[in-house]
């Protein structure tokens, strides 16, 4: 199950309040037809409110999805061949369980396809439902300032179950990961809370919003959003299709 920008808890609260309103209406009017109509309106409103909105780009604008995904690439975290035929962009959240499930799949994909693929990682912390996601994103950036972004990236995902469930313990755990990576802790702490780091994470997030990202993880392949594969083999087949005959 993917992590959406609208939480299940919010949906249930809306549904509960809606049902209460319907019951009161039925008592007042005792009219089944009115109640059914109200149910339909409320359900439609909830669906509309909880459906992630896709950004649209007018044909008259010079901007395109490709431009959005390429913006800021010079400062993006990338691995693989920068000239590869397959350019994969992942919007992800370190605290998202679905992202944690895709982590070993993406890692295996990168290992198998080698210099035929390039991966760009972008932050999309779902702050409303993942309290420590922003902290984790900033931690990876702070580690990146000391040349250890991918090492912290891997450590956060591989230990996800250990730091995500107790928000107050996340900071201590992440500092421990920084120490285990041999980072300068004073510099790490400074960068963790710096404006530059916060701006970098927010820039990634906003580029995702503009590109229409509504859940994590979201993958783009050669500038087009790809449906999230249900298995490693499905992911591999999608990459092979993008590579063409040479795959």
Q: What is the mean pLDDT of each run of 10 residues along the chain (247 residues)?
A: 59 44 47 45 42 41 54 76 95 97 97 96 96 97 98 97 87 96 98 97 96 96 94 97 82
Separation between Cα atoms, residue 198 and residue 201, nearest integer Å:
5
The pTM for the full model equals: 0.75
Residue 207's pLDDT is: 95
Count of other CB atoms within 10 angstroms of residue 124: 28
Residue 67's pLDDT is: 61
Separation between Cα atoms, residue 46 and residue 8, nearest integer Å:
12
Place of tokens 């439609």: 44
Separation between Cα atoms, residue 10 and residue 219, nearest integer Å:
26
Quote the distance between the C-alpha of residue 99 and its chain's center: 7
CB-based contact 170:155 (threshold 8 Å): no
Residue 71's pLDDT is: 58
Residue 157's pLDDT is: 98
């Amino acid at each position: 199950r993917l992590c959406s920008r609208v939480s299940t808890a919010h949906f249930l609260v809306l549904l509960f309040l809606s049902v209460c309103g319907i019951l009161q209406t039925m008592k007042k009017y005792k009219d089944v037809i009115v109640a059914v109509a109200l149910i339909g309106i409320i359900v439609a409103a909830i669906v509309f409110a909880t459906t992630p909105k896709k950004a649209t780009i007018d044909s008259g604008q010079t901007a395109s999805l490709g431009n959005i995904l390429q913006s800021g690439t010079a400062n993006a975290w990338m691995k693989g061949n920068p000239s590869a035929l397959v350019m994969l962009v992942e919007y992800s959240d370190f605290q998202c369980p679905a992202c944690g499930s895709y982590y070993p799949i993406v890692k295996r994909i990168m290992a198998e396809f080698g210099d035929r693929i390039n991966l760009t990682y972008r932050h999309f912390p779902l702050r409303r439902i993942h309290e420590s996601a922003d902290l984790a994103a900033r931690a990876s950036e702070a580690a990146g300032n000391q040349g250890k972004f991918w090492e912290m990236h891997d450590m956060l995902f591989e230990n996800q179950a250990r730091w995500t469930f107790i928000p107050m313990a996340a900071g201590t755990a992440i500092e421990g990961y920084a120490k285990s990576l041999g980072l300068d802790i004073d510099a790490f702490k400074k960068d963790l809370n710096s404006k530059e780091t916060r701006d970098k994470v927010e820039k990634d997030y906003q580029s995702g919003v503009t590109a229409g990202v509504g859940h994590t993880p979201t993958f783009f392949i050669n500038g087009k959003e790809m449906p999230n594969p249900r298995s490693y083999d499905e992911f591999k087949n999608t990459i092979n299709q993008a590579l063409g005959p040479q795959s």
